[in-house]
Chains A and B, each alone.
Chain A
Amino acid sequence: MTTKILHNRQGFLFEMIRNGRLYAMFMPVAVYFLIFAYLPMTGIVVAFKDFNYQGGIWGSPWNGWDNFRYFIESGKLVQVTINTLLYNTLFLVAYLFFSILVAILISEMGSRLAKKTFQTMLFLPYFISWVTVSALVYNLFNYEYGLMNTLVKGWGMEAVDIYADPNLWPVILPFFYVWKWVGFGSVLFLASIAGQDKECHEAASIDGANIFYRIRRITLPQLKPTIIILLLLGVGRIMRGEFDMFYQLVGTNGNLIDATDIIDTLVFRSLVSTQDFGMSSAAGLYQSILCFVIILAVNGIVRRQDKSQALF
């Protein structure tokens, strides 16, 4: 029996015996994910239950699809899903584009002092919470005494009521998203650029390639794996809105709701007074399933193009 398994070179036991040490090293990670990612997943059932404190997650009575009803009956499901998808796609594209741009610009800077100064300045917004940003934005944009409108009025023009114009927000929100995250993103790409072989650049320079040519032909192609991984990771949470940002910058503003409503803000607004675990879990489940489908699709596309670049 044992010999049979050992002879079967694809067998589970054989694999365990051969790579036992590696699996032992992997154990803590496996346990971590089991406890903090897989076990809690069973809590999904609460989306189908009428939660009460005595019964808890498992003992509460089932109520079928009842928790999903408000989500569909609100008539906003399609709109917020599209909004979430569009905003996050915009965020992801803008974030990747500007992170790469900044990383390349910084890496091409000659002076070490300039490099460090710019990097630190760009990184700083990463540490500011959205609550603080919202106060900054309000003082920048508000109609009565905002910095922008004071300047505009100073030039003799009409003040702009930014908080009433839904068309401006698809620009404002990605702007602040990039402003906050670009420092962080550029570090990831800078690390990747730092790992690139300097000799290629030197050889290309000697052969007469100018800086733009080198960036296009040497730096960017080598960044491709990093770009794809960050893209896939970003796509993995594409249905999860940046709730903090939307809630803090826009607030519950009736005039902007149609333009800035994402799944997370709709759920928050509808359920903040109801405090129902089941209903909020229902929304979470909906987001997770969409995310799951989207990541499978995108990963599938990447796989078909280049198997080695795909996540799985």
Chain B
Amino acid sequence: MKKCLHLLSILAFGLLASTGIVAQETKITGYLLGSGPSGTQDVLDALNFKLKADMGAKLELNYIGWNELGSKYPLVLAAGEDVDWVYAASWNGYATQAVRGAFKELTPEIIQKYMPRHWKATPSEAWDQAKINGKIFMIPTSTPDRKIPLAVIRGDLRKKYGLAPVTNVAGLEAYLTAVKKNNPAIIPINLGSGYDIGQPFFALLNNEVPPINFVFGGSVFGNYEDKAHSLVDILEEPYLTAFKKVANTMKSWYTKGFINKAPFANTVLSKQSFAQGKSAVGFGNSLDIQEVLSKATASGFDPEIIPILSRTGHSPADSHVGNGVAIAANSKNWEKTLQLLDLIMEDPDYVMLVYFGIKGKSYDLTPDGKLTLPAGVTPEKNPYPQDAAGFWFAKKDLFPPQATWTSGYIELRKKLKDILVVNTFVDFNFNPGKVKNELASIANVISQYMDPISIGAVSDVDKAVATLIAKLKSANQDKVVAELKAQLAAHYK
């Protein structure tokens, strides 16, 4: 009899569970970019323990590796199975994918209902920035990155050669000359492929032209401080002369051996090679440089920061859509997914867990509340270093200050509020659908004809620039600019 009852209760439970009356854990699948550090599973276990108690959900986390980002990201969305949320950002084709119907449309009402914390923490302009044709397809971060591009140089070498402090990349010539002359083992600037390629060139160009920033892709610029949203063609006068001047400076640096000969084949970034003491200038931004600064300081390099700013002393602030999450169009549990995201984006305990890992294992707090590594853990051995796990959309205002910040870095952070200005193009999302063929050709022209100019690897600057202009013309750059202008006019009417 007892056995019978037991059996019956199991049956009943099964029946209830299958009809959803007894709450089961809802499995929610998410995709982040990059690859999880070694401690990811431990953090995920801790996270799921909390999630089960708080909302009866279980997060399954997957990563789309950097090397397969371009191919796998659209594939994950196209497969459409078993994806609830995915990392989304303006720089990762948010507008393109949204137009193709990859993401679920969200409304302010939905956000208010399922993500009350995030709704409260996020200013209304963030939602405007996320709008594509008037509809919202992503949840932007409540705290955009406050970062600027910068270069770091070795203060110990600068002082050794008796040079004055450098405040601008254009003022590096004397430093580079001295390093080249006195340290045959050090390459003054050792650029890597990818991020580094355009850095010195555009740092120099910033001194010569109005405050410019890419409006779309690698070829069209806009003046980010101009309320009229004007485009700037740097390959036309009055800017062409400045462009050629900078190209000549780069060429002379390249010829003098200040820059490595083959950046395109070098997979080591300039900042990494700087931290290892193999080069004398590193490029990065004020967030990802922290690690480099602490390593360089430990090696006695006395790193000095040179902010890369426009002539006006400004840098465009990141938009809210620079980091965010989108809900997959076919997500079955989108309500629960939004609730879960509300926790990991805004709840202090959750944010610390997903961003810094488990206290005592991958981070610790000093008595005065600063972030530090637990005793016995070195930066190399940290199982869950900050930024590495890809939860970049979490609320960054909740992060404690860090014990490793150098005095120069703290000073820079104080200055940031005066440096960062609102990019006037920030709420504009270009829809490239009509000119995708032209954009493909232009991308090709940029890598073949612009990249060599920007590292200085051309024999004749005038000829190279003329070729670049001609090739852009035959790739129908004009058509892209016309389409861009039309969309800008429609957006800001």
Contacts and interface: CB of A to CB of B under 8 A. Distances in A.
Interface stretch (A7-15, A223-231, A245-253): A245-253
B351 to A, nearest CB: 30
B86 to A, nearest CB: 12
A69 B437 contact: yes
Interface in B166-216: 187, 190, 193
Interface in B92-126: 93, 96-97, 99-102
B437 A70 contact: yes
B261 A161 contact: yes
B260 interface: yes
A50 B431 CA distance: 14
B100 to A, nearest CB: 4
A270 B97 contact: no
A232 B73 CA distance: 36
Contacts of A272: 70, 443
A161 B457 CA distance: 11
Contacts of A143: 260-262
Interface in A234-263: 249-255, 257-258
A123 B415 CA distance: 58
Contacts of A50: 433
Interface in B404-456: 432-433, 436-441, 443-444, 447-452
Q: What secondary structure prevails in chain B residues at the interface with A?
A: helix
A135 interface: yes
Interface stretch (A82-90, A112-120, A202-210, A275-283): A275-283
Interface string A114-146: 000000000000000000001101100111110
A250 B193 CA distance: 11
Contacts of A111: none
B78 A270 contact: no
B216 to A, nearest CB: 10
Nearest to A51: B100
A73 B444 CA distance: 11
A271 interface: yes
A138 B438 contact: no
Nearest to B99: A52
Interface string A50-92: 1111111000000000100110011110000000000000000
A266 B444 contact: yes
A48 to B, nearest CB: 14
B400 interface: no
Contact of B96 (A141, A253, A274): A274
Contact of A74 (B100, B101, B475): B475
B77 interface: yes
Residue of A50, A52, A249, A252 with highest tally of chain B CB at under 10 A: A252
A68 to B, nearest CB: 9
Contacts of A253: 262, 264-265
Nearest to A271: B440
A18 interface: no
B474 interface: yes
A176 interface: no
A142 B448 contact: no
B273 to A, nearest CB: 11
Nearest to A270: B440
Interface in A137-174: 137-138, 141-145, 161-164
A249 B265 contact: yes
B436 A70 contact: yes
B175 to A, nearest CB: 18
Of B80, B436, B451, most buried by chain A (CB within 10 Å of CB) is B436
B26 interface: no
Nearest to B279: A144
B476 interface: yes
Given A138-B267, A269-B443, A275 B262 contact: no
Given A274-B432, A274-B436, A275-B93, A163 B261 contact: yes
A255 B77 CA distance: 36
Interface in B294-315: none
Given A53-B102, A252-B193, A269-B447, A70 B441 contact: yes
Nearest to A142: B262
A273 interface: yes
A24 B451 CA distance: 59
Contacts of B474: 75
Interface in B32-52: none
A116 to B, nearest CB: 35
Contacts of A137: 265
Contacts of B452: 254-255
B101 A255 contact: no
A163 B444 contact: no
A257, A258, A266, A273: most-surrounded residue (chain B CB, <10 A): A273
B283 to A, nearest CB: 18
A70 B262 CA distance: 29
B266 interface: yes
B329 interface: yes
B165 interface: no
A142 B441 contact: no
B100 A273 contact: no
A208 to B, nearest CB: 55
Contacts of B369: none
Nearest to B217: A273
B50 to A, nearest CB: 33
Contacts of A161: 261-262
Given A70-B441, A73-B475, A74-B475, A275 B448 contact: no
17 contacts: A52-B99, A54-B329, A55-B101, A70-B436, A73-B475, A135-B267, A137-B265, A138-B266, A144-B260, A252-B451, A253-B265, A255-B457, A270-B443, A271-B70, A273-B443, A274-B440, A275-B74
Interface of A: 50-56, 66, 69-70, 73-76, 134-135, 137-138, 141-145, 161-164, 249-255, 257-258, 266, 269-277, 279
Given A52-B101, A142-B266, A254-B448, 8 more contacts: A53-B97, A73-B475, A76-B444, A138-B262, A269-B447, A270-B443, A272-B70, A275-B70
